[in-house]
Structure 1
């Protein structure tokens, strides 16, 4: 009987039309995460006016989607490892698309908060699926680069939403943005159903081979007779799909997982705090609404560049020491931002560099998660990492709200928000001592060889 190792097949294939198709569809879904955050930020003042919300009620509204994201990633990551990435990706994408459409019908604080939480659950459930599904169809040598390019969709979505909002909101009102944020995910979910196959490794690990694997390999350019019973498909991995979350801490992965979660928490705390509060803080420092919008646009542009380039740079420069350096620089430029206000040019430049380094580091953490766990727990690993990150993201706006209410100045607030980023640099150096660099390893064998 002939044995075909699908891992070797995928690793030998270039990044071709099939991989590009999977990447493109998942990129659109990831795009809507960033667009959703920006849409809420742009629409919040108008929504508050229409629903007669108090300024203090906006903090929970911003945090609601982050808490929802955490719940979605925690719940649906393991479900995806047990029942398939594609199925969960479709369901979660439809969920956040439909909830975005229903947001236009919100008539109270509690109704809006519920819709934001449900939207976040959909986004959180989709994220580990599109990361896992995309990276599993590219060669090991390209996985970090593809993961970082995929995550570049989030700041790119923010840029697109910003430009779209500047045209749509004045002409059609804030509801137009939520219609757009709802329709695109629904269409993307349909594209996943039609165009994107289930993970071939997942199919093999769960005993579903046969014609489905034949068709997928054919799309990868590998011709295998569909009815050839003498061919057996295997993967380098031997675990059973759908392992419980506790496996993130087994077989030498405990320190890696714990430190990765801490880094995610600290990074997202600062990142979401900046996205949620920068415009308000800068306006209180004397900058106009238009100038504050320019500053946030540069933050998203910097984030897009940083996220897109993180994987390639990590392939060349390594993981932990490189990310530690990125975090240190990010902390410095973030801490300087408040002191530069209200000088628009300086604040815009510093904001752009903040997006470049702090946002870029996010992609680096996701790439580490995608490479550090085997297929059987990859969605669980990525999902839990993102969930802990979003817990930090939900905490960030609340922390800044507390600083503002206690009379901290704008420069002091930015300096304090920079501290978690600096701590994340230390976490990266600690992680470096727990195991070897991930690049050059067979990541699908786990963090370390067993």
Structure 2
């Protein structure tokens, strides 16, 4: 019988190899899943004014519809995180994409505000499960030298989806009505789910902490490095946990003494960051209409925000790989606080407004995106998806809060400038929370095995 002769640290193996076609495939699939979330986020914002006019509902009721998906996102992330750490990244991702595609397609045929609210909630459950799983999967396939850049590049799909949602809404609504935007947003994810099921590989790091997976890991790693001989190897995940902690649940690990402080600070910073992000994303089209801009001009200006996010994600990822990740995010949040105030003061100057929105999108999006990239680096494989998912789940509650704040402030008659000026407060709070994560915690450090 052939004996196993050597031990291979899966992450060290990936770090030593070039970025292969297999990893490009994972990146493309994860990019598309995140883009579907961005499309969904933008689409509901753009169809809201037409939906309100068509059904004769008040703007306050739109806040309930917009927030329903965010509530679902939060719960989907919270429940799916531990599941993905137990049964696998791929399985959860395929099921999640299928669910949000199917419910979006059904939502296109809703006839009442109540039905649409329920269907948006169900859509959010799938989206919430998918997002942290893509981040975890991509972070486990990316080499350390490119990890932040790769995960942030994947997250550019969200901004790309926002742009696609705005462009699709601008063309589809005049020609086919607002329901067509949801129809398109349902069909595409269903097709993507089929491709994921057939072509997407499981995370080798996840498999490395499970028994009986040696041959499966070897097949995956051979796709990354075909020249390597792996038949006689056993595989381990990079982070070693004490025996008692290995038996604990993923959530218990995330909230254990060694991780609790950073976990709570991650939750706070993500919450505050998504208050800013979702208030701007969901209410910009309506705010522009209130400020007197035409539908076309308002849609064009609103699209500058996600376009800035595309640049911001890449720059932030590059900086995080080469310098300090914590300081990169802190700096982005501080500058974002300055720029949201600047946006609110430029409403009468379209040129300056466009530049400010682009730069604001660069910083707000990159800061929010980089939080997930940063969080994935702070937890071991056994609890990584749970750590990222719970942070996103708590953060999505911030998104719900932001959506409701937008509805309340508009109801009170707040101006464009006043709404944006208020967003400097959560930006400063997020920066302070991230900064505190870097402070030492009684000398605690996560150890690594096989290094």
Question: Which TM-score applies when normalising by structure 1?
Answer: 0.93
Q: Distance in 2 between matches of 1:277 and 1:435?
A: 39
Alignment of 1:23-422 (within 5 A): 23-222=27-226, 228=231, 230-239=232-241, 240=246, 243-422=249-428
Q: CA deviation at 1:238?
A: 4.1
Asked if structure 1 preserves the Cα contact closer than 8 Å seen for 2:64 and 2:117, the reply is: yes
How many residues are paired up?
Answer: 440
Relative to 1, partners in 2 of residues 1:328 and 1:224: Cα closer, same or farther, differing over 3 Å? closer
Q: CA deviation at 1:2?
A: 1.4
Q: CA deviation at 1:37?
A: 0.8
Range with bigger deviation, 72-81 or 322-331: 322-331
SS in 2 for 1:136: helix
Q: CA deviation at 1:178?
A: 1.5
SS in 2 for 1:106: coil
Q: CA deviation at 1:148?
A: 0.8
Cα offsets for 1:62-98 (capped at 9, x unmatched): 1111111000000001100011110000000000000
Relative to 1, partners in 2 of residues 1:47 and 1:408: Cα closer, same or farther, differing over 3 Å? closer
Asked if structure 2 preserves the Cα contact closer than 8 Å seen for 1:330 and 1:354, the reply is: yes
Asked if structure 1 preserves the Cα contact closer than 8 Å seen for 2:59 and 2:407, the reply is: no
Q: Distance in 1 between matches of 2:384 and 2:434?
A: 20
Q: CA deviation at 1:177?
A: 1.6
Q: Distance in 1 between matches of 2:111 and 2:221?
A: 50
Relative to 1, partners in 2 of residues 1:188 and 1:324: Cα closer, same or farther, differing over 3 Å? same
Q: CA deviation at 1:223?
A: 5.5
Asked if structure 2 preserves the Cα contact closer than 8 Å seen for 1:66 and 1:394, the reply is: yes
Asked if structure 1 preserves the Cα contact closer than 8 Å seen for 2:45 and 2:285, the reply is: no
Q: Distance in 1 between matches of 2:335 and 2:164?
A: 27
Q: Distance in 2 between matches of 1:224 and 1:246?
A: 37
Pairwise CA RMSD: 2.2
Q: CA deviation at 1:251?
A: 5.0
SS in 1 for 2:274: helix
Q: Distance in 2 between matches of 1:8 and 1:168?
A: 48
Q: Distance in 2 between matches of 1:85 and 1:318?
A: 28
Q: Distance in 2 between matches of 1:151 and 1:202?
A: 21
Q: Distance in 1 between matches of 2:447 and 2:358?
A: 35
The equivalent position to 2:5 in structure 1, one of 2, 16, 25, is 2
SS in 1 for 2:225: coil
Range with bigger deviation, 68-77 or 247-256: 247-256
Q: CA deviation at 1:310?
A: 1.3
SS in 2 for 1:22: helix
Asked if structure 2 preserves the Cα contact closer than 8 Å seen for 1:307 and 1:362, the reply is: no
Q: CA deviation at 1:403?
A: 2.3
SS in 1 for 2:71: helix
Asked if structure 1 preserves the Cα contact closer than 8 Å seen for 2:37 and 2:127, the reply is: yes
Gaps of 5+ in 2: none
Relative to 1, partners in 2 of residues 1:258 and 1:225: Cα closer, same or farther, differing over 3 Å? same
Asked if structure 2 preserves the Cα contact closer than 8 Å seen for 1:76 and 1:125, the reply is: yes
Relative to 1, partners in 2 of residues 1:42 and 1:407: Cα closer, same or farther, differing over 3 Å? closer
Range with bigger deviation, 94-103 or 278-287: 278-287
Range with bigger deviation, 277-286 or 394-403: 277-286
Asked if structure 1 preserves the Cα contact closer than 8 Å seen for 2:67 and 2:403, the reply is: yes
Q: CA deviation at 1:420?
A: 0.4
Q: CA deviation at 1:137?
A: 1.2
